[in-house]
Chains A and B, each alone.
Chain A
C-alpha cells in the first residue's frame, strides 16, 4: 500500500507519522534524537510503520471477528511480546558490544573479572526482561537507552560489589557501548520479532490458540504486504540531515500549522512549545501559515527550561506538572532566564516558600513568555490549538487557560493527546498533498 510519511526531527525526540492515501493516520513512532539524526529518523519511521501494522492488524482482525471480545487483550499482549523480543535482541547486542569494548579498555588485570561481571549482569537483565513488559508494568521511558540503562546501573552496582570489581569500570563500558547499540537499526528483524511474538502471545493467551488459523492468516497477510514509502517529508531542526532533497523538506512552522489544522480544522492560532523553541503561528482556514513568531536569541521559556528545573529539583520532568498542580498560593517568578530561574528557585526555597507554589510560578513564567510571543504574532484567535511536549504538562495548560481567559476572553482551546506528533502529521499531510494533489513523485534517494 502507498504510505505518506512525515518525520519531525526535534532537539529532544524524533517523531514520525504514517498516513494512507485516504489520509487516515496509520501509525506514529517516536524515539530519542540521540546525537545522530539519521538513525533517529530511520528509527522513528520504522516505529511508525510498526505501529501502522498494528493498526492494520486491528482493522483486519476486527472485521473478521476472529477474536471477538478479545481483540484489545490480544493486540496488547502481542505488542508487549513484540517489544520484549526487540528488547532482548538489543540486549544481546549490547552484551556483545560491551564484551568487545572490555577487550580494548585499559582495565589492566581486572579485564577478566569485568568480563565475567558483565556476563552476570546481562544474565540477570535477561531474567528481569519479561517483568518489564508484563501487563500493567510501568516504564519510565520506552527508549532502549533509558530502560536498559536503568536496569544496568542498578544490577551492575550489586554485581560489582559482589565480584569485588570497580563499579566505574562497568559504567565506562556501558557508556562506550550504548551509543554504538542505539545507533544500530534493527529493521530486518521486525518481521521475525513479530512472528516470534505471535507464538508467545498464543502461549500467554491459550484460549486464542484454538483460533490460531483465523488469527494468524490476516496478520501474516499484513506482514507480507509492502508498506511502500511513497513520499516522505521531513521537518524540524535536524531536517537538513535528512537524506533527501529540498523538495522533501518543509519548515516546522508550516508543518505545525498544517498538523494543527488537520487535528482541529477550525484552528486559527497555534502555540507550540517544544524543547528549544516556542512558536506562535496564525493559520488560515486551509491550514496555510499567515504569520508566525518565535522566541529569539534565547531558549528561556521552552521545554528545556522545565528540564533544567527538574534537574535542579532532582525530579523527573513529568513530575513537575503534578507537583505544581498542588499549589495553593500564587508566587510570581519574574525571570524566565533558565539560569536565573535556578537561582530564584533556591532563593525562594530558602525563604520558606513551598515547592509546589514555586513550581506553579515557574510554569506561569513560561506561559507568560509564550503570551508575549503570541501577542507579537497577532494575538490569539478562536480556535486556539496548543501543541508540543509542554502541552502535556497540566500545570502549563492551567496557566495558559487562565492567561488566555484574562487577555482574550472565552475561546476554544484544543489540546490533542497526540500533539507531540503535530509537526510529523503536518509533514505527512504535505507528503500526501505532494503526490495526490500535485502529482509529484519521490526522487531517487541519495545514500
Chain B
C-alpha cells in the first residue's frame, strides 16, 4: 500500500507496481463529512499538535491514534511506502515525516519546482523527469518487487486521457444557462474518482463516460443542477469560487447557496487534482514527461498572477456574477494572498467579490450564522448591482 496526496497524484505510476493507494487528505475529508473529524482533531491536539496546524493533518493523526480505523469503519492497512509527489504544500512533507516516524516506512520524495514565473520551463520538466527515472521508479521497484513496465503505464494513461476528456466536458457544461451542474459542491462528486485512486482504471473511464452522457442529457432538457434537496430550478446567481469547501458542514453550506438560487459555475477547487480544462492530458506517447507536466501544472503549484488569470477567465467564460473566496483558516499555504486575488479580480472584471472564512475539517471553525449572513449579503449585493446596471442602460 502506498500513501500519497491528491495534488500531483501519480496514480498510474503506482498502479504499475501493484500498490493500493490511500490518500490521507481524502480520508480526512471523509471523516469530516461523516462528523468524525472533530474528535480526531482534539485527540491530535492532546497528543501535542498545536491549534494552528492544518486540520487535515490533525484529523489524520487523530485517526491513527484511534487505531487506524478508516472513515467507513473498516481498518486501514499500514502503508509500505509514502510517495510525496508534490512538494508545493510544505505541510505535506511534515505530515509524511510524522507518518514515517510512526510506521518507519520508506519515503520517496519528488521535488516539484514552483511555477514562480507563471510557466513551466523545459529545465523544470527535465528536473522532475530525472527524479522520476532515477529515484522514484527505482524506489517503487525495490519496495514492491515489481519491475517497471512502461507499456503498462501507457495503457493506464490512455484510460486517464479518456476520462479527463469527459471530466472537462462535464465541468464545462456549466457554461450553459441554466448550468446543469454545480461546479463546486456537485463537482466534489465528479472529481472524486479521477483525483484519487481511480484515475487510469477502466472503471473510472466508464464512470466519466456515463456521467457525461447524463449531464449532456440535462443540458438538452434545460435542467438545473441536482442538490441534496432535489433539482434546483431557479438559477439566480452564477458564481466562481476559490478555495476548498468546508467538509464538516458540507450540506448546510451547500444549502445556503441553492436556497438562494446560487449555483457555482466554476471553482478552482475542482482543479486541485489536475488542471485539465486548458488542454493538458496525460500522454501515453510521452508517459514520464506527462507525469512531470501533470505535477508541475497542479492548481496549487500556480503563482498568484496565474491563479488570478484563471479566475478572471472563468468569470468571463462562464458568465459568472462574481467571485466568492472561501478561505481556509488552518491552511497557511493557500490562504495567503487570497485578499489580493479578490481585489485584483474585482478590478479586472468589475464584478463583485466576497470573502468568507471557514475550515476544512475542524467543526469548531464553521460559524453557520456568520457564513449565511455574509452569503446572503453577497447575493443581495449582486442583485442590487444588477438592478443598478440595468437602470443605467
Contacts and interface: CB of A to CB of B under 8 A. Distances in A.
A288 B388 contact: yes
Interface in B354-393: 354-357, 365, 367, 369-370, 373-374, 376-377, 380-381, 384-385, 388
Which 10 A-B pairs have CB atoms at the shortest separation, nearest pair first?
Answer: A251-B377, A253-B377, A289-B381, A288-B384, A296-B357, A251-B380, A251-B376, A288-B388, A254-B380, A286-B388
A376 B370 contact: no
A292 B380 CA distance: 12
Given A254-B384, A292-B354, 7 more contacts: A251-B381, A254-B377, A289-B381, A290-B352, A290-B381, A290-B385, A297-B329
A378 B347 CA distance: 11
Contacts of B356: 296
A277 to B, nearest CB: 8
Nearest to B359: A297
A297 B367 contact: yes
Task: Determine the main DSSP class of A at the interface with B.
Answer: mixed
A376 B339 contact: yes
Contact of A294 (B329, B343, B374): B374
A291 B346 contact: yes
B204 interface: no
Contacts of A254: 377, 380-381, 384
B148 to A, nearest CB: 49
B370 A296 contact: yes
Interface string B315-358: 00000000000000100000000010001001000001111110
Interface string A229-253: 0000000010000000000001111
A364 to B, nearest CB: 24
26 contacts: A251-B373, A251-B376, A251-B377, A251-B380, A252-B373, A252-B377, A253-B380, A253-B381, A284-B388, A286-B388, A288-B381, A288-B384, A288-B385, A290-B381, A290-B385, A291-B346, A292-B377, A292-B381, A293-B355, A294-B373, A296-B356, A296-B357, A296-B370, A297-B357, A297-B367, A297-B370
Interface of B: 329, 339, 343, 346, 352-357, 365, 367, 369-370, 373-374, 376-377, 380-381, 384-385, 388
Nearest to A376: B339
A220 B376 CA distance: 44
A297 B365 contact: yes
**Interface-central residue, B343, B346, B356, B376, by most chain A CB under 10 Å:** B376
Interface residues of A, number: 19
A369 to B, nearest CB: 15
**Interface-central residue, B329, B369, B374, B377, by most chain A CB under 10 Å:** B377
Contacts of B346: 291
A436 to B, nearest CB: 14
Given A253-B377, A378-B343, A291 B354 contact: yes
Contacts of B381: 251, 253-254, 288-290, 292
A253 B381 CA distance: 9
Contacts of A288: 381, 384-385, 388
Given A254-B384, A296-B370, A378-B343, A291 B377 contact: no
B184 to A, nearest CB: 20
A237 B374 CA distance: 11
Contacts of A286: 388
B357 A289 contact: no
A250 B378 CA distance: 11
A269 B237 CA distance: 26
A270 to B, nearest CB: 13
Contacts of B357: 296-297
A292 B378 CA distance: 9
Nearest to A279: B377
Contacts of B370: 294, 296-297
Contact of A291 (B353, B365, B376, B380): B353
Contacts of A291: 346, 352-354
Nearest to B343: A378
**Interface-central residue, B354, B355, B356, B367, by most chain A CB under 10 Å:** B355
A21 B292 CA distance: 68
Interface string A258-299: 000000000000000000000000001010111111101100
Contacts of B376: 251
Contacts of A237: 369, 373
B363 to A, nearest CB: 13
A111 to B, nearest CB: 44
A250 B365 CA distance: 26
A296 B339 CA distance: 14
A187 B147 CA distance: 87
A297 B381 CA distance: 22
A252 B380 CA distance: 10
A237 B329 CA distance: 24
B350 to A, nearest CB: 10
B260 to A, nearest CB: 9
Contacts of A296: 356-357, 367, 370
**Interface-central residue, A284, A294, A296, by most chain B CB under 10 Å:** A296
**Interface-central residue, B353, B354, B384, B385, by most chain A CB under 10 Å:** B384
B380 A250 contact: yes
Contacts of B365: 297
A252 to B, nearest CB: 8
Contact of A289 (B339, B355, B367, B384): B384
A339 to B, nearest CB: 16
A337 B270 CA distance: 37
A261 to B, nearest CB: 12
A294 B371 CA distance: 11
A284 B392 CA distance: 13
Nearest to B376: A251
A294 B376 CA distance: 13
A253 B383 CA distance: 13
Interface string A148-165: 000000000000000000
Interface string A342-382: 00000000000000000000000000000000001010000
A250 B356 CA distance: 19
A372 to B, nearest CB: 11
B345 to A, nearest CB: 11
A252 B369 CA distance: 13
A142 to B, nearest CB: 29
A286 B392 CA distance: 11
A292 B346 CA distance: 12
**Interface-central residue, A284, A288, A378, by most chain B CB under 10 Å:** A288
Interface string A291-309: 1111011000000000000
Contacts of A378: 343
B51 to A, nearest CB: 12
A294 B370 CA distance: 9
B262 to A, nearest CB: 13
Nearest to A246: B260
B59 to A, nearest CB: 19
A253 B385 CA distance: 14
B234 to A, nearest CB: 12
Nearest to B386: A288
Contacts of B355: 293, 376
A294 B381 CA distance: 15
